[in-house]
Amino acid sequence: MNIDSLKQAIMSSNRIVCLLGRRMAADCGCFDYRDSDNAYAIEMNYGYSPEEIFSAAFYNTRPRLFFEYYHREILDKLGEPCEAHYTLKRLEDEGKVKAVITRSIYGLPRRAGIRNAIEIHGSVYENKCPHCGALYDVSFMKQCEGVPFCTNCGAVVRPQIVLDGEMIPNEKITASAWESGQADTLLVLGCSLQSTLARNSIKYFEGNKIILINEEENYSDSIADLAFCGKPRDVLPGIYT
């Protein structure tokens, strides 16, 4: 597929919902624990797999080690929004993109200025004391050494992210399902159509086109009406050139 086909498909759409996959965050410099090399390094350094550490059970029973991991592997590798995020922001400003849905916790869409970003698993940029409700930004969390304690009541400040073993907030499931159901186009960036993010949205989608931009080819690509093999950060901005 050429860039003109992509541009025509996007500009002829009136209600695009964009799904941002994990490869988008990884390409922006965010830590990806699903990467086999990263997972191996984590197990060697901490004695536990990333899945074990980033779980509700581990957070509740080993908070010191959890936050050591959280600071070194998450907060120190937040990455930066890329050209594709800013292209989505421009499309939102023009009324084309109505929502951006992601499972990433790094807040990349909002950092790029996108207003309607549904962060299904929450964001490291939102932190809250579960006891008194005090809110803290990511700078506070980064400055804390070890376990972060609330300056008001002394309770442990909780990142507002979904850990393994926890339920996704119902309002986020409802919002992502509604937006997917209202879309005339699904724009899938940085994941296959077999990913959890894509499958959960496609089952509600009743629109006209599915557009896929992903670096890795997958047998499910045939489901898409338009499929582009490449990094979204390289491909998507081309619609404005």
Contact yes or no for 108/89 (Cβ under 8 A): no
The tokens describing 185, both together, are 């186009």
Contact yes or no for 183/205 (Cβ under 8 A): yes
Contact yes or no for 197/174 (Cβ under 8 A): no
The answer to whether residue 121 is catalytic is yes
Q: Considering the candidates 71, 85, 121, 131, report the single residue annotated as catalytic.
A: 121
State which H helix or E strand residue 111 sits in: helix 108-111
Measured CA to CA, the distance from residue 146 to residue 157 in angstroms comes to 11
The tokens describing 90, both together, are 């421009």
Q: Which of 189, 193, 232 is nearest to 21 (CA)?
A: 189
Contact yes or no for 161/150 (Cβ under 8 A): no
The tokens describing 168, both together, are 């996704």
Catalytically active residues, by annotation: 121
